[in-house]
Structure formats: structure tokens, C-alpha cells
Structure 1
């Protein structure tokens, strides 16, 4: 039976290609050409576009780990600059342009897209708003864009499950970042800047987590380490369904195909070191 580790491995392999939409200059240029000014306006519009012209409350709920005020400074104003349909077109245009820098010659994009597409078509939708929004979009005709869309649906499915694992343990968005920083997965300063939390909110989360016995002097306790591991284990388990549909042999083949693509994205400098996404290196 396909193991939860498979879900983590394929996420780690595929996430850098998905993240072109955040980090590639071509993607920022496409967003600007559509009318979106500034990194965060583009981020919120392009990522939230599958949900329609939603307000800050919905974006805060679905994205989970951003400070509400940080979201409200961009949403719903982004919909005055661009429609969700135009944002969706811009994100595909940007990825299409950026892919020219990372696709390996003769790399079998059609095969990778077909495999990822089988998994993406099998995502379970209840309680998964971002996965559902992406699953409802048309599949692009170009294989590399079909692959990007499938990987995007799958990573949002995983993220929706991660949010459920946090919520079940009453871990807030800022609390999740405090735990991630204490675990050494990314930097506190970057997380605060990239997710909009101020020092007061961060310190309050530290105090709460320390009161629960999960932190001591800013470091994870044994119980805190166990909680972080449990959240990650639940995230992997909740992400597993689509990969079970694909099956072990085809999961292994997709991993084999994604490896060179991931390395090409890293070699092009399009995957910033210790970025706030917090993806581990694939095993």
C-alpha cells in the first residue's frame, strides 16, 4: 500500500515547479501586465483566483497562516485591478514563460502531466477549498502547464489537510510559524515578514505554546517536538488519497520524472533557500 512518505516525497519534488508562480520574474511580469502591482497583490490574486472574487475573510480562512490585516491590505482591492479569470490566465502565462528556463530538453512533460493528472483528479473535495477551486479549473492543453496545474491542485489539497491537522490541535496560523521556526525549518524574521505577523502576535503565540508545554526558552520541548511530528504525520496521511489512486509503481515513475525538473528549478535560482514554504529535501 502506498505509504504516507510517498505523499511527502512527491510534494517535495513537485513544489519547486509549482512555486515558479511566486519566485520567477516571468510570473511577476505576467501579473504586472494583468494589472497587479507588487508581489503580495499578485500572490493573493493568483492563488485565490480559483475561489472567485472572495473577500479577506475567505482568503484568511483558506490560506490559514497569514495575519488578517496583512490579507486585508490587498484583498478585496486586487479584484478592482483584475478579475479572477484574468488572474488565472496571468498565472498560466507566467509559468509558461518561466518554464522555458527550467524544462530539460526532451524531458517527457506529457508523461509527467498524465501521471500527476490521475492523482489530481482523485483529490477528495469536502473540507478542501483550495484543492476544490483548482480541481474545478480546465486542464491546460500544453503538457507542462497541465503538469503545473495538477501539481498545484495536489499541493493545495495537501495544504488544506495541513490546516485541518493544525486546527484539530488548536494551533493558530502564527502558532504554526512559531513551531516551524523552533523546529529550524525556516527563519522567524522571514516568516514574520512573509506572513504579516507583528512582534506582539508572535510573542503572544510563544507564550501560549510555552503554556501548553511545547516550548521552553524559545526551543521545542520533547512534547513540542512530538506535536510537530504528529502534525506532519497527519498532513502526510491526509494527503495520501490521490497518490493511492496513482499507485506505487506510477508514483515512483512520477518521482523519477520530477527529480530532474526540481534540480533544474534549483539550478536556475528560482527556489530561494529556506523560503517560508518550508519544504524538506526529498528522500
Structure 2
């Protein structure tokens, strides 16, 4: 495990690509299309929100946080006229399993099995109070097959971390667009994130203006010392909120999990766009 990173962050860097593969794989898109969710965003919003049931846009706007409400509203509740949540859940597992089967073909099976064992142990110890997406995913039946179980475990853990991250952002007084503007000012391309989250240019510039007014951005859009300090505090709060689940593991077990996950993560990360819209550090 990376000595300079919080254990919760070091493990997230490793398990997030395993989950995220489904968003970018042809197998994932094909599985959603097969049940009637044609078009990338129908599959994304249908598949990711399916654990919540046939909800409309409002709770998904709240839970997903940094998507423009208008973008969510274009997908929900329309997707439920095309496929049931149950069909979407089946499709997402089938797509993820097919993608992982291809990408992890040369990975030694015992590394997958050990990763599943330790990740599921972490899932079993989660406290999901206050974490809607994590709780909904954790309540799903555990699927059969090592790859389906691997994907499900990484999904629960990444939604658990994501829920905690949203809580940190809310506590800091940031809205969804402001969080993205700050991230782009730090290390991510605006042309990648903004269209993927559906914010208009006017909304983006207004958010930048609010951050400038708070002293987080300079007039030219660069991050100020205050902005960097507050961002570090946000990331520390996110790590702290994700850390408790790993307290029951010995350091040797965490190192073993990291070693088992590393070849899986490397193979999955190679399938992701170099500049991805999901928050993974580039080249991490």
C-alpha cells in the first residue's frame, strides 16, 4: 500500500477501477441495450439508480450530487418505462461480469478469490447509516460467481466512499457544480467533466464566481492557497469517513488485499479513458 496515502484512499485507488470498468466497457453497454436501455445515459442512470427502485429524478439528483438536475430529469423516470429496476440490476451484473471476464482473463484466479474474500469481509462490516447509495447496494442479494461478487463488493465500497464524500462537500457548503469547478481547477479537464455532468456554460461560470467570492479561486480561475487548503480538508474528511470499515483489518491483511487487487486494478484501469470523468487520479 502507498505509504503516503491514507489506507482508505490507497485501497480506493485499487478497487475503484474494477467497479468503473462497467461504465466504459462495450459489454456493459450491450447488456443495458439488451433490456431496453438504449443510449449510454439511460444505462448509466438506470443501472446505478436501480438499487433504489423505480424512483424519479429528485432522489437521484440528491444522491448523485454533481450531475445537473436537468440531465438526470432527461433520464428519470423515463428509463422505468423501458426496463424495470430488476432488469437493470440483472443487466449491470451481466455486463460487468462479461467485461471482467475479458479484462482479467490472464489474472491468477487465487488473486481474484482472495480479493473477493477480503472485500466481502469489509462489506459485511459496513455501517451504511446516512449513506443511501451504499445501503441500497449492500441490501442486494450477493450474486453468484467470483467475478460478479468481485464487482458487487467494489460497487458497495465505492458507493459507501462516495456517500461520505458527498457529505463532506455538503458540510463544506459546496454544491455539485462548484465541486466540479474546483476539481477542474486543480487537475482535471473542464471539457471532460462539464459535458459528462450536464452543466451549462452559464451555470459553470456562476459556480466559478461563487468560488472566487469565497476566496477559493483567483480571478483567472486558478486555485488559491485557501482553495487548496480547503480541498485537502475535504479529501481528508472523505478518507476519514471511509476509514472505519478497515479498522478491523490488520496491516498485514490490508497489504495482502492491496497486493491481490493491484493486478486486477491495473488491468481494469487500462480500459478506462486517460482523462476519466469519475474522479480517479490520472495515472494513480
User: TM-score, normalised on structure 1?
Assistant: 0.95
| Residue 177 of structure 1 pairs with residue 180 of structure 2 | yes
2:62 paired residue number = 61
Offset at 1:245? 2.6
Question: Which consecutive residues of structure 1, in runs of 5 or more, have no partner in the other structure?
Answer: none
Question: Which consecutive residues of structure 2, in runs of 5 or more, have no partner in the other structure?
Answer: none
Q: Distance in 1 between matches of 2:283 and 2:191?
A: 25
Q: Is the 8 A contact 1:64 1:173 kept in 2?
A: yes
Offset at 1:105? 4.1
1:196 paired residue number = 198
Runs of 4+ in 1 over 4 A off after TM superposition: none
| Residue 71 of structure 1 pairs with residue 75 of structure 2 | no
Q: Distance in 1 between matches of 2:240 and 2:249?
A: 15
Q: Distance in 2 between matches of 1:123 and 1:247?
A: 17
1:16 paired residue number = 17
| Residue 126 of structure 1 pairs with residue 129 of structure 2 | yes
Offset at 1:111? 1.4
Offset at 1:3? 10
Offset at 1:247? 3.4
Q: Distance in 1 between matches of 2:274 and 2:266?
A: 13
Q: Is the 8 A contact 2:97 2:151 kept in 1?
A: no
Q: Is the 8 A contact 1:17 1:265 kept in 2?
A: yes
In the TM superposition, what whole-angstrom CA distance separates every residue of 1:7-59 from its partner, at most 9, and x where no partner exists?
11111111111012100000100000011010011000000011111110000
1:139 paired residue number = 142
Q: 1:167 to 1:4 in 2, by over 3 A?
A: farther
Q: Is the 8 A contact 1:3 1:240 kept in 2?
A: no
1:159 paired residue number = 162
Q: Is the 8 A contact 1:191 1:276 kept in 2?
A: yes
Q: 1:188 to 1:105 in 2, by over 3 A?
A: closer
Q: Distance in 1 between matches of 2:56 and 2:174?
A: 23
Q: Distance in 2 between matches of 1:143 and 1:282?
A: 27
Matched residue pairs, number?
A: 279
